[in-house]
Amino acid sequence: MRYLAKTRRELGFPTPFNVLGPLTNPVLPDRAVIGVHSKSLGPVMAEALKLLGRRNYAVVCGDENLDEISIAGTTHVWHIQENGDITNYTIHPSDFGVPTHPLSEAAGSSLEENKETLTRLLNNTLEAKDEAIRDFVLVNTGFLLYISGMALSMKEGATIARETLESGKAETLLYDFAKATQELRAQESEKAAIN
């Protein structure tokens, strides 16, 4: 699937691989949040995940057919419970303790501008124009923390995410992850060279 990623991005519209990717991913976390680009796909994806034995997974779709939690308003959720029941509900930025924002305020731009925004986010030096992006990160991270069981509520998840950003822990975690990934890649290259 990763070899198709560039072509999928260049097409500019969802393909069957957007659905197949999460279903065929060899990594099987105990809990996960998976976004779909259409509300009609939500129950289908949830049922497929259930049939594959996934539990404590949530499928999400923002009202704008956004494959993430929306900061503009309502997001639809299909939550596969521990017992296999699928619960359908909606969530809103207010559930996380953040205001709504037009999606256009959180839209990315050039690679350089996105990099600068990420740096400000990780360094806790955000500007007023970054508030929507920060809140977008808080609702999506907060929901993942809630689904993972690391937070008892969505609002608590957003609070944990905010504290992690403001304390600088997010930056440390990102760089530690990048370092570990690079070390793993080097180890794999060494093994391949030996074989």
Q: Which residues, 6 or more positions from 14, have their beta carbon under 8 angstroms from its beta carbon?
A: 37, 38
Question: Where does the pLDDT of residue 5 fall: very low under 50, low under 70, confident under 90, or very high at 90 and above?
Answer: low
DSSP 34: E
- Dump pLDDT digits (tens) for 45-74: 999 999 999 999 999 999 999 999 999 999
- Dump pLDDT digits (tens) for 104-114: 999 888 899 99
